[in-house]
Chains A and B, each alone.
Chain A
């Protein structure tokens, strides 16, 4: 069987469609671990965790932070349904820092009425967003 030469990649959230383009490779934060997808991947359906997703087209990689949802992978198509997704360029670093600080505080405080699971997820989300945002910053500006 001939392998498809590219993946048609679609990333949507309940609010809007974030990415819809043809790419060469995608890395997805699956609930059982990160998985890289190249054209011709075995059909797969997985849930997502909080994490960093990237897709590559030629040499250019774009990063997106995602949290919760599903991904359907077919040999020539990848569809990601994420509850939350933000492209690296769109992440507000100050807000993420603030969220991280608050989550840390909540985890550090040992009062009984702290919802640890929620605080943990909030911390995780803010860390991922910061990490994704840092990728946007080190990328050379367009035209170089």
Chain B
């Protein structure tokens, strides 16, 4: 049976853990707010970009551009799966559910899968297991910039155009709400065909001038589109990570509280039992006299 002093020590330990989880929760909450603002800030660009892309697609034959090639025309190379994980742990099932999904994706794919990894957790996991890793980048989430997305996009486009990858998919945690993250798989390359409301768009563009030619603008626009997609995915993942950590740390704080309550109750019972026993000893000692 643990002594009273042991119990007190144990409660103190749980309390200090609780303080840490509480602090982490507060930090995650404030980081989450900033990450959410950044997503909101990045949204108009992506939307306008899509608008321009859509209107251009009606003027240029999309089949001409390599980034739009139909999957059937691609060389029989592995699929490149870009996995966006967090750099840090202690965020609930954020990383593990993502890695599990990546694992099933690799197992279920009907061809080989190469990996592009963003985030330390994913890198450690896959590099240790000897996967075919084409690209890796860590420590991007402390100070996430558009250039990070550009670097990933450049690598992905490089693998794709050189024929080293048949297609490129993106796996990341989408930020649905503070309480909910969703693991999503999206095709990044070849760029999925755009929604076909071309008649209206063509009409709107009938009188457009282009500087330089539509084809040249298209050439520049498509890689930018890939970058924007990646940037959005990274921002989503960053926000989702903070949300997951906040929820996990909130639960941990609550569990620590419950544990403290139980331990305190047990300790009090123990103390009471000791007092009672000592009283009995005194009384029965007095009777014996």
Chain A residues at the B interface, C-beta cutoff of 8 Å: 10, 12-17, 30-32, 42-47, 69-70, 72, 79, 81, 83
Number of A-B contacts (CB under 8 A): 73
Partner of A44 from B38, B41, B51, B209 at Cβ < 8 Å? B209
Expressed in whole angstroms, the Cα–Cα distance for A70 and B223 within the complex equals: 13
Expressed in whole angstroms, the Cα–Cα distance for A36 and B48 within the complex equals: 21
Q: Return 24 A-B CB contacts under 8 Å, by A number.
A: A10-B44, A10-B48, A12-B44, A12-B48, A13-B146, A14-B42, A14-B231, A15-B38, A15-B41, A17-B45, A32-B211, A32-B212, A45-B55, A45-B56, A45-B214, A46-B210, A47-B212, A47-B217, A47-B220, A70-B217, A70-B220, A72-B51, A81-B52, A83-B146
Expressed in whole angstroms, the Cα–Cα distance for A101 and B230 within the complex equals: 33
CB-CB < 8 A to A31: which residues of B? 211-212
* Docked complex: B196-230 residues within 8 A CB-CB of A: 205, 207-212, 214, 216-217, 220-221, 224, 227-228
Q: Is B140 in the interface zone, CB < 8 Å from A?
A: no
CB-CB < 8 A to B41: which residues of A? 15-17
Partner of B211 from A10, A15, A47, A83 at Cβ < 8 Å? A47
Interface contacts beyond A14-B231, A44-B209, A45-B217: sample of 19 additional A-B pairs, CB < 8 Å, sorted by A? A10-B44, A12-B44, A14-B146, A15-B146, A16-B38, A16-B42, A17-B41, A42-B207, A44-B211, A45-B210, A45-B214, A47-B212, A47-B216, A70-B52, A70-B217, A72-B48, A79-B52, A81-B45, A81-B52
Expressed in whole angstroms, the Cα–Cα distance for A4 and B60 within the complex equals: 30
Contact B211 A72 (CB under 8 A): no
Q: Is the interface of A mostly helix, strand, loop or mixed?
A: strand
Q: Is the interface of B mostly helix, strand, loop or mixed?
A: helix
CB-CB < 8 A to B252: which residues of A? none
**B41, closest chain A residue (CB):** A16
* Docked complex: B212-257 residues within 8 A CB-CB of A: 212, 214, 216-217, 220-221, 224, 227-228, 231
Expressed in whole angstroms, the Cα–Cα distance for A43 and B202 within the complex equals: 13
CB-CB < 8 A to A69: which residues of B? 224
Shortest 4 CB-CB distances between A and B: which pairs?
Answer: A16-B41, A46-B211, A44-B209, A43-B208
Q: How far is the CB of B53 from chain A (nearest CB, A)?
A: 10
**B208, closest chain A residue (CB):** A43
Contact B56 A13 (CB under 8 A): no
Q: How far is the CB of B8 from chain A (nearest CB, A)?
A: 52
Q: Is B138 in the interface zone, CB < 8 Å from A?
A: no
Expressed in whole angstroms, the Cα–Cα distance for A35 and B205 within the complex equals: 20
Expressed in whole angstroms, the Cα–Cα distance for A81 and B52 within the complex equals: 10
Given A12-B44, A15-B41, A70-B221; A81-B211 close (CB under 8 Å): no
Expressed in whole angstroms, the Cα–Cα distance for A70 and B38 within the complex equals: 22
Q: Is B29 in the interface zone, CB < 8 Å from A?
A: no
Q: Is B14 in the interface zone, CB < 8 Å from A?
A: no
**A13, closest chain B residue (CB):** B45
Contact A72 B52 (CB under 8 A): yes
Q: Is B49 in the interface zone, CB < 8 Å from A?
A: yes
**B220, closest chain A residue (CB):** A47
Q: How far is the CB of B209 from chain A (nearest CB, A)?
A: 4
CB-CB < 8 A to B211: which residues of A? 30-32, 44-47
Given A43-B207, A70-B217; A79-B45 close (CB under 8 Å): no
CB-CB < 8 A to B220: which residues of A? 47, 70
Given A81-B48, A81-B49; A45-B209 close (CB under 8 Å): yes
Expressed in whole angstroms, the Cα–Cα distance for A69 and B56 within the complex equals: 15
CB-CB < 8 A to A32: which residues of B? 211-212
**B221, closest chain A residue (CB):** A70
**A84, closest chain B residue (CB):** B146
